Structure 1
Amino acid sequence: MNLLALDSRWQRLNDPTYACKCCGRSFGGIVDMGFGQPDCWPHGPLTDGDGDTLTVGDDVLTADLCVFEDLRFVHCVVPLPVRGSDEVFLFGAWASLAVEDFKAYVLDATGEDTGFAGAAAWLMNDLPLFESDEPIACALKPAESGAERPHLTAIAGPLAQAQAEGISFDQLLEIYAACGEDLRPHLMG
Structure 2
Amino acid sequence: MSLLNLDARWRRLNDPDYACPCCGRRFSGVFDIGFEEPDAWLHGPRSDDLLRVGEDKLSSELCRLGERRFLRCVIALPIRGSDGESLFLAPWAEVSQSDFYAYLDGSTQDGAPVTALTATVANALPGLGDPGPGTLQPGSGLERPRLEFATGPLAVASAEGISFDDLLDIYAAAGQDIRPHLTGS
In the other structure, the counterpart of 1:8 is: 8
Contact 1:67 1:73 in 2 (8 A): yes
Identity %: 51
In the other structure, the counterpart of 1:22 is: 22
In the other structure, the counterpart of 1:129 is: 127
**SS at 1:73 equivalent:** strand
- Give the Å deviation of 1:103: 0.6
**TM-score, L = length of structure 2:** 0.91
Which ranges of 4 or more aligned residues in structure 1 deviate by more than 6 Å? none
Give the aligned CA root-mean-square deviation in angstroms: 1.7
Structure 2 counterpart of 1:80, from 72, 77, 85: 77
**SS at 1:101 equivalent:** helix
In the other structure, the counterpart of 2:68 is: 71
- Give the Å deviation of 1:154: 1.8
In the other structure, the counterpart of 1:53 is: 50
- Give the Å deviation of 1:181: 1.1
Which one-letter code corresponds to 2:9 in the other structure? R
Which one-letter code corresponds to 1:55 in the other structure? R
Which one-letter code corresponds to 2:156 in the other structure? Q
Aligned pairs (5 A) from 1:1-189: 1-47=1-47, 51-85=48-82, 86-108=84-106, 115-132=113-130, 136-144=132-140, 146-189=141-184
- Give the Å deviation of 1:9: 0.3
Structure 1 unaligned segments of length 5 or more: list them. none
Which one-letter code corresponds to 1:79 in the other structure? A
Which one-letter code corresponds to 2:93 in the other structure? A
Deviations 1:69-110 (A, max 9, x none): 11110001111111111101001101111111111111239x
- Give the Å deviation of 1:114: 8.6
- Give the Å deviation of 1:161: 1.2
Q: Tell me the distance in 1 between the aligned counterparts of 2:36 and 2:173.
A: 16
Q: Tell me the distance in 1 between the aligned counterparts of 2:12 and 2:67.
A: 46
Q: Tell me the distance in 2 between the aligned counterparts of 1:139 and 1:149.
A: 13
Deviations 1:24-74 (A, max 9, x none): 111111000111111111212212xxx211111111111000001111100
Structure 2 unaligned segments of length 5 or more: list them. none
- Give the Å deviation of 1:155: 2.6
Which one-letter code corresponds to 1:32 in the other structure? D
Q: Tell me the distance in 2 between the aligned counterparts of 1:185 and 1:165.
A: 27
- Give the Å deviation of 1:186: 0.7
**SS at 1:39 equivalent:** coil
Q: Tell me the distance in 2 between the aligned counterparts of 1:129 and 1:161.
A: 15
**TM-score, L = length of structure 1:** 0.89
Q: Tell me the distance in 2 between the aligned counterparts of 1:117 and 1:177.
A: 35
